[in-house]
Chains A and B, each alone.
Chain A
């Protein structure tokens, strides 16, 4: 009994060694997610669907996708990537910026396909000569999409008084969020729109910060799609609806959850696009022609119920969200 704990531990360790028997002909993809989120997880669905459409399906045992989620812990994320590297998986798939950066810094040999990530320049992954890691490809997004999303607001909303005031929440701990805010501020000054922005560091403070923003008499709320807003969106929506402030955003998933309209990437399609590239790699086993690509499918979508509630008439090129 004295050595029971040690024995159990050793037994478990030995169990895990040598139980990894793999069919050599089935390619293995390690999929690393940094955290749990309803909208972000659509990328994984898109990715697996794209692989399946190209003959790499988990059900038919033509590919093995090892899914790991770090639940927001960076040490765990590093361990997950280490595991993929030491297992020598054929391909590492990374979802969101943090996974991408971790993988890119941990391996230069195994190809990495990224999704829901910013351009390499924005992730600061370029070396001194302006080159990114050679093993990195996938679907990326820059900030241009924000312009189009944001410019919808003055087109469809009339200010309550003189100048349109748009409220925003941004997360200081996410690079894309802080970058997006800077960009929107520049944009707003050209459009004669006032921006009121408040920082939010964790979704737990969402209600408080939203209420504080709504007390500043804003005409509309622009939900900048960062991880904190994704997590706390229902709270933000409830508060905004209570005082009749419409929410605009740049991501289709949030429109489904109750924002009025968006023109931007669709997270499912984003994953799908990365999946197509991954399938190409698994077929040819070469990095030829694979590089980070801009997201191709951006959608103009609106939420009919929300638009009706606020009497907002959107241009004809907007589709009702499915």
Chain B
């Protein structure tokens, strides 16, 4: 069971990332490629600061600010320069590669004897369970914060920006500002994931973010399937399911590994599993609507 537990731990480390992708993708309909860069940015800042014996709290603060700047930059390029959101994200992600490398100083920085969020609480149990409790607490905090944010007037304006930009403009809301803030929030969450993952795996690596946006999108789409299937509208439940989607995605990968498929087929089998999960309810849904 320990193996599946570690898969869940990894998924929970990505909880910030999937919430971030949910905001950019589902609320603004922007596939935000900045994610690949800002996730590594969170990891790089974490490794650089912790290995220079900075405190966890200062590190978290810097990680949040760095993520916000990255996201806001994508938002600015997209809204003010009228550049396609996809390209804006790609540009920021590409630029972040060099910035991350500069922050890290080298491509791979292992954390040895540094502070860690997983050592904040010490229960006399298996260290994995200890980490699990910590991550669940963080996950609930993130969910509650985002859930609250999306229920405020500001949050409702944000959601409306994604649903019907013309209408919300007519109501006198600056959609540009909404998008910039929304992307900043999304990337703060993503950077936080990088922060957690770096401590979980014990190192930051310049390539850690490659393809992570795909993992996030996969998780969100699995969640969307569940949401449609169970006909859920309440935003808090939706956010819970988004994290459940991440857990399912990682468990599928774990399952593929555990079955011991040929290394070359690893990704294909993972893709087929996800297809099954997402596709089967679709079949039942269409039957329901016929």
Among listed A7-15, A249-257, A269-277, interface-contacting one:
A7-15
Residues in A neighbouring B279, C-beta threshold 8 A: 5
Beta-carbon contacts under 8 Å, A63-86 to B: 66-69, 71-76, 78-80, 82-83, 85-86
- Find out whether the CB atom of A67 lies under 8 angstroms from the CB atom of B6: no
Please give, as numbers and ranges, the residues of chain A lying within 8 Å of B258 by CB-CB distance.
16, 83
Given the complex of chains A and B, what is the CA–CA distance between A16 and B206 in angstroms?
Answer: 34
On chain B, the residues within 8 Å of A82 by CB distance are: 2-3, 6-7, 10
Interface hit among B19-27, B178-186, B232-240, B280-288: B280-288
* Cα A4 to Cα B277 with chains together (Å): 9
| Structural contact, B110 and A79, CB atoms closer than 8 A | no
Hey, which chain B residues are within 8 Å of A74, CB to CB? 201, 205, 207-208, 210
* Residues of chain B at the chain A interface (Cβ within 8 Å): 1-3, 5-7, 10, 97, 101, 106-113, 197, 200-203, 205-208, 210-212, 215, 229, 248, 250-251, 253-255, 257-260, 263-264, 266-267, 273, 276-277, 279-281, 283-284, 287
> A86-B3, A125-B112, A128-B113 are known contacts. Are A71 and B267 too (CB-CB below 8 A)?
yes
Which one of A2, A82, A178 has the highest number of Cβ atoms from chain B below 10 Å of its Cβ?
A82
B201 touches A105 (CB 8 A): yes
Q: Which of A32-83 contact B (CB under 8 A)?
A: 33, 36, 66-69, 71-76, 78-80, 82-83
User: How near does chain A come to B235, taking the closest CB pair, in angstroms?
Assistant: 23
Which of chain B's residues have a CB closer than 8 A to the CB of A79? Answer: 6-7, 10, 250, 253-254, 257
Closest chain-A Cβ to B259's Cβ sits at a distance in Å of 6
Which of A36, A106, A124, A126 has a CB less than 8 Å from the CB of B201? A106
Chain A residues lying within 8 Å of B1, measured Cβ to Cβ, are: 86
A69 to B263 CA separation, bound complex (whole angstroms): 5
Q: Is A104 an interface residue, CB under 8 A from the partner?
A: yes
The prevalent SS among residues of B at the interface is: helix
Checking B10, B101, B110, B287 against A124 with a beta-carbon cut-off of 8 angstroms, the contacting residue is B110
* Docked-complex contact A172 and B10, CB < 8 angstroms: no
Q: CA of A15 to CA of B261 in the docked complex: distance in angstroms?
A: 14
Chain A residues lying within 8 Å of B208, measured Cβ to Cβ, are 74
Nearest-Cβ distance from residue A47 to partner chain B, whole angstroms? 15
In the complex, what residues of B have CB within 8 A of residue A178's CB? Answer: 106-107
Q: Is the CB of A106 within 8 A of B202?
A: yes
Q: List 11 A-B contacts (CB under 8 A).
A: A5-B277, A8-B276, A12-B255, A66-B260, A71-B267, A75-B212, A80-B257, A82-B3, A82-B10, A98-B205, A172-B107
Q: Is the CB of A104 within 8 A of B110?
A: yes
A67 to B260, CA, bound (A): 9
Asked if A2 contacts B284 (CB within 8 A), the reply is: yes
Report the 9 A-B pairs with minimum CB-CB distance, sorted nearest first: A105-B202, A69-B263, A86-B2, A86-B3, A5-B280, A82-B6, A173-B107, A173-B206, A16-B258
Taking A1-B287, A36-B263 as given, write out 18 further A-B residue pairs in contact, using a Cβ cutoff of 8 Å, ordered by the A residue number: A12-B273, A13-B255, A69-B263, A71-B266, A72-B210, A74-B207, A74-B210, A75-B197, A75-B250, A78-B200, A86-B5, A97-B108, A101-B205, A105-B111, A105-B202, A106-B201, A174-B107, A178-B107
